[in-house]
Chains A and B, each alone.
Chain A
Amino acid sequence: MKVSLFVTCLTDTFYPRTGIAVVKVLERLGCAVDFPQAQTCCGQPMFNNGFTDEARDLARRMIEVFEDSEYVVTPSGSCCAMIHDYYPQLFKDDPAMAARAKELVEKTYEFYQFLLTVLKVDLKSLGAKWSGRVTYHYSCHLRGLGMTDEAVRLIRQIEGVEYVPLPKAEQCCGFGGTFAMKYPQISGTLVRDKVACIRDTRAAAVVSNDAGCTMNISGSCRRENHAVTFLSLAEIIAESLGLMEATAV
């Protein structure tokens, strides 16, 4: 199976280990992974702030870059939701491009959505092992993809993981892109609430799968003096399968 990685701009720069983990896990599961070098950003920051024309240009670029791909997999619910929820709408006045946008939508998957629905992975049978107390941050954009407990199901398949549900899991961490900078007080109050919930779980590691949320929550944990490790789902899976050095927690 041929899979193209859409790494996303934040993961590329801020969380490269997540991208590496995605490649290693997919290859371990028998996929041939390629990385179209011309990819940049899905255009979400522009689109969300009302810069529709600029977002459309970036969307067009994405559609072209991944035109020949069989599957597109991305370790970000947020960027995946941007493609799914808004790309067709961006080209509603251009039927030819709209059709190409729809093609991209149909073949684009969030990383673990891909693991569960396309590859139908069972981590237990692959001998996944990881030791530690773990909680999971549900990122809001998974709602747009209709995803609920997929990540939890995967985490629970890993032997040795003591999974603790995060209280108020469905409440946004307050990232919201530029929202975090334009409305710092509101955003800050929300993220401190999230950190308090994480503290309550006494988890040693937080699985957080969207780079934006991770920057926000980990930055707040550090400010509030709560020591905890952040891992993406791809990382914890890669580690549990022995594809990467295990993080000591």
Chain B
Amino acid sequence: MSSTPSQSRTSGHDAGKPVGLSVNGHDLLFPPLPYDIHARADKATADKQLLDFVHVATYRKDVTRKQVTSAAFGDRHGAFRDLGAAIKQHTLDHLDHYLEQFVDNATAAGVKVHFAQNAEQANAICLDIARRAGAKLCVKSKSMVTEETQLLPQLEAMGVETVETDLGEFIIQLDHDAPSHIVTPMIHKNRQSVARAFERELGAPYTEDPQELTQIARAHLREKYRRADLGISGGNFLVAETGSVVICTNEGNGRFCTSAPRVHVAFVGIEKLVPTLEHLGVMLKLLARTSTGQPLTVYTHVMTGPRRAHEHGGPDEMHVILLDNGRTEILKPETREMLRCIRCGACLNACPVYRKVGGHSYGAVYSGPIGALITPMFRGLANYPDLPNASSLCGACYEACPVKINIPKYLIQLRAEMVSRRITKWSDRMMYRMWARSLGRGWTYRLGGWAQKLFFRWQARVAGTLESGDPYRARGWLNDLPGAAGGWTSQRDMPTPPARSFRQWWDEQNRP
């Protein structure tokens, strides 16, 4: 399709035409299991363009988060994170109590509250609501939970046209792609691919100007809001004392989705509860600053029940679907802390691995460090053996987390579970146990160190890289080691030990 610059921005598209159907069980987020990260990660690290977007964007977000949180909280930042952590931990410790409180108060406000044990139940409840409402067109704001339940293809299959209205998600939907970041779903996409998708699916003239692209999306979406009879949202928080659903957005689409259509359905994980509005205040301050570096998101909606008789706006029906889908399994004391997550995305932005491999490499709805924890919990450790392991345990995620989830600690805990459940390869288990044994005695430790030195230095002599000079410093270099060590030398050289060890020096000094 050729573009004609003289065409007005939106004249080329038909507002009534359905956008491209969402992909059912998108392979990017629901790959065949067990999932091996290497193929996608290796491809991503070799994709210079992808690296440029994801690395630059996440690095900038991480810098902004540090600047904004330090400007806002100063030396009380740590105390504020402790408070956020304590609020979430307390709520999780008494989740049954707060869930009941929420259900009572939401029901009193006129909300129909539904419980769903798993994705199928949650979708079935929503489809039933849509059917009874006779819905034809659904506008949807951003929700990771509906990605988790794969709701959209099912709505579309029963004839409800469903439009993602978050700009990033809208583009992802048009391009039959999948989100790769909890907060910034299209972080992996460039303007050219957006322009092509708009041209192809909406018949819009080709433009790479972000302003113009936004205007095209806006014009298309306005029309949808007007006609929609069903609105679907997620929920950033649930407030127990008031029975409110809280959503935080920056584009205003969330307000349209939840107030214009006759029926509003919110999909929310049961871990999103906070006890009171006062606690909500703390969480909102943390969320916006760590997530996007804003003091507050542009729109913060606290929705308590459907439209009342004297009110002009708002839906006639409001439903909240509380989803478990594996969350009560994580609620056991050993892993409960993981459920504190408020999906701010700060750990993704801080993570060196995420920066280099992007979200799709994780092969799941939730990517990055928090995804590496909860994906194996949700979908089986044996199905995602790489996720807890593909981390250098650098701890940047823990430092960034507004609710202080000790992600490295739990990654190690999952690794330990892999060992005890024998998911870790037999050969690895043997190797580490033998290694531990050799380190367990003074003489075997020395023997091991000596043998390693001898082998490495002999290899370096053969390779002709052995340096001469200070026996405690001069070393050789290897660039082609066998076996597992080949992973090292495929990327960088391996230094050999110098001729003499520290212990030899110590002995030579005739020290005690």
Q: Does chain A have a CB within 8 A of B494?
A: yes
B59: A residues at CB distance < 8 A: 168, 171
Instruction: Write the B448-490 contact mask toward A (1 if CB under 8 angstroms, else 0).
Output: 0100110000000000000000101101010100001111101
Partner of B495, one of A57, A171, A218: A218
Contact with B along A177-195 (1 / 0, CB 8 A): 1011111111111111100
CA distance A11 to B398 in the complex (A): 28
The A126-140 residues at the B interface (CB cut-off 8 A) are 140
Q: How large is the interface on B (under 10, 10 to 19, 20 to 34, 35 or more residues)?
A: 35 or more
Q: Please tell me if B391 contacts chain A, counting CB pairs below 8 Å.
A: yes
- Shortest CB-to-CB span from A191 to chain B, Å, is 6
CB of B353 within 8 A of CB of A186, answer: yes
Complex-state Cα separation, A143 to B395, whole angstroms: 7
- Taking a contact as CB atoms closer than 8 A, the residue among A52, A180, A191, A215 that contacts B487 in the complex is A180
Contacts of A190 in B (CB 8 A): 352-353, 356, 392
**Given A51-B419, A140-B395, A219-B477, do A181 and B435 touch, yes or no (CB 8 Å)?**
no
B512 located at the interface, meaning its Cβ lies under 8 Å from any Cβ of chain A in the complex: yes
Are the C-beta atoms of A179 and B493 separated by less than 8 Å? no
List A contacts of B409 (CB < 8 A): 85
Q: A9-B439, A17-B473, A19-B505 are in contact. Are A46 and B394 (CB under 8 A)?
A: no
Identify the stretch in B224-232, B267-275, B324-332, B410-418 within 8 Å (CB) of chain A at 4 or more residues.
B410-418
Is B131 at the interface (CB under 8 A from chain A)? no
Complex Cα gap A52–B399 (Å):
24
Does B432 have its Cβ within 8 Å of any Cβ on chain A? Answer: yes
Nearest-Cβ distance from residue B456 to partner chain A, whole angstroms: 9
Residues of A within 8 A of B442 (CB): 37-38, 40
Residues of B within 8 Å of A49, CB to CB, are 415, 419, 424, 428, 432
| Interface residue B312 (Cβ < 8 Å from any Cβ of A) | no
Interface residues in A167-214 by Cβ distance below 8 A to B read 168, 170-172, 174-177, 179-193
How distant is the Cα of A11 from the Cα of B497 in the complex, in angstroms? 9
Question: Does B17 interact with chain A (Cβ within 8 Å)?
Answer: no
Q: Does B491 contact A (CB under 8 A)?
A: yes
Tell me the minimal C-beta distance from B153 to chain A in angstroms.
32
B41 touches A41 (CB 8 A): no
CB atoms of A35 and B506 under 8 A apart: yes
Residue B500 CB within 8 A of the other chain: yes
B503 at interface by CB-CB < 8 Å: yes
Does A104 count as interface, using CB distance less than 8 angstroms?
no
Main secondary structure of the interface of B (DSSP, over half): helix
CB distance from B369 to the nearest CB of A (A): 12
Q: A20-B502, A47-B412, A185-B45 are in contact. Are A144 and B472 (CB under 8 A)?
A: no
> Who on chain A is nearest to B442 by CB?
A38
Tell me which residues across on chain A come within 8 A of B417, comparing CB atoms.
50
B452 nearest in chain A by CB position: A13
Bound together, the chains give a CA A144 to CA B395 distance in angstroms of 7
- Among residues of A, the one whose C-beta sits closest to the C-beta of B507 is A37
Choice from B355, B389, B440, B493 contacting A40 with Cβ under 8 Å = B440
Q: Mark A40-73, 1 if CB is under 8 A from B, else 0.
A: 1101011111111011011001000000000000
Say if the beta carbon of A216 comes within 8 Å of chain B.
Answer: yes
Q: Are A222 and B493 in contact (CB under 8 A)?
A: yes
Inter-chain contact B488/A181, CB cutoff 8 Å: yes
Take A7-B502, A215-B494 as given contacts and tell me if A181 and B484 are in contact as well, using a CB distance cutoff of 8 Å. Answer: yes
Please give 7 more A-B residue pairs, beta carbons under 8 A apart, in addition to A17-B470, A179-B392, A222-B492.
Answer: A20-B502, A57-B436, A170-B396, A172-B352, A183-B487, A188-B45, A223-B493
What are 11 sample pairs from A and B whose C-beta atoms fall under 8 A apart?
A: A16-B505, A40-B445, A41-B439, A46-B436, A50-B424, A143-B398, A170-B396, A181-B486, A186-B356, A189-B51, A190-B353
Instruction: State the B residues within 8 Å of A (CB).
Output: 37-38, 41-42, 45-46, 51, 59, 352-353, 355-357, 386, 389-396, 398-399, 409, 412, 414-420, 424, 428, 432-433, 435-436, 439-442, 445, 449, 452-453, 470, 472-473, 475, 477, 479, 484-488, 490-495, 497-498, 500-506, 511-512
